[in-house]
Amino acid sequence: MKKVIIQGSSRSNGHTNQVAKLIQKELECDLIDLKNYQIGQFDYDFKNRQDDFLPLIRKITDYDLIMFLTPVYWYSMSGLMKIFFDRITDCLKIEKETGYRLRGKYMTAISCGSEKKATEGFFVPFELSAQYLGMLYLGDLHTWIEKDKPDQEVIHSVQRFIQQLTKAIKNAQV
């Protein structure tokens, strides 16, 4: 099973990336950093067809498990992540075959903030997007960083989450 983390942070090597590295330590997976791509905002005339979004989403559809990892910016996902999700509309209008390839994929969402508690409703856009796209949403995890590194509580929560993901995927495949 091919797995990927889609990281949507303004800092490639910031706190969110520390969580990505924790996940990669526990679960063999690739990492795609949205900061390394030029992805324009959604527009109804699809004028951004020549940017990096369509080639990137085509590549992402080759994965079985897609994990979206975003910092918490003003109580919601990062701007990079929001633009990426908005552009999935391209897969419903002009690149339908790519959109169809998302069906049946596993999706999860992970946030990284400075507070121990997730913002109420934070993960709703991820869950509803998965449902709309025909993806199997396997849950979410909120992490936080204090003193510039994840503490043992965060490390253990990531480990438990990976175990739950692995179990959920096995159960879904039976």
pLDDT in tens, 102-128: 999 999 999 999 999 999 999 999 999
Q: In this structure, is the dihedral angle defined by the CA atoms of residues 40, 60, 156 and 13, taken in order, positive or negative?
A: negative
DSSP calls for 81-149: HHHHHHHTTHHHHT-HHHHHTTTT-EEEEEEEESSSSPPTTTTHHHHHHHHHHT-EEEEEEEEE-BTTB
Q: How confident is the model at residue 147 (pLDDT cuts 50, 70, 90)?
A: confident
Q: Residue ranges per domain, the chain?
A: 3-173
Per-residue pLDDT at 171: 87
Range 3-173: architecture per CATH: 3-Layer(aba) Sandwich (3.40)
Is this model's pTM higher than 0.85 or not? yes
| 173 pLDDT higher than 80 | no
Express as a percent the part of the chain with pLDDT over 70: 99
Residue 88, pLDDT > 90, answer yes
The confidence score (pLDDT) of residue 174 equals 61
Give the model confidence (pLDDT) of 20-70 as tens digits: 999 999 999 999 999 999 999 999 999 999 999 999 999 999 999 999 999
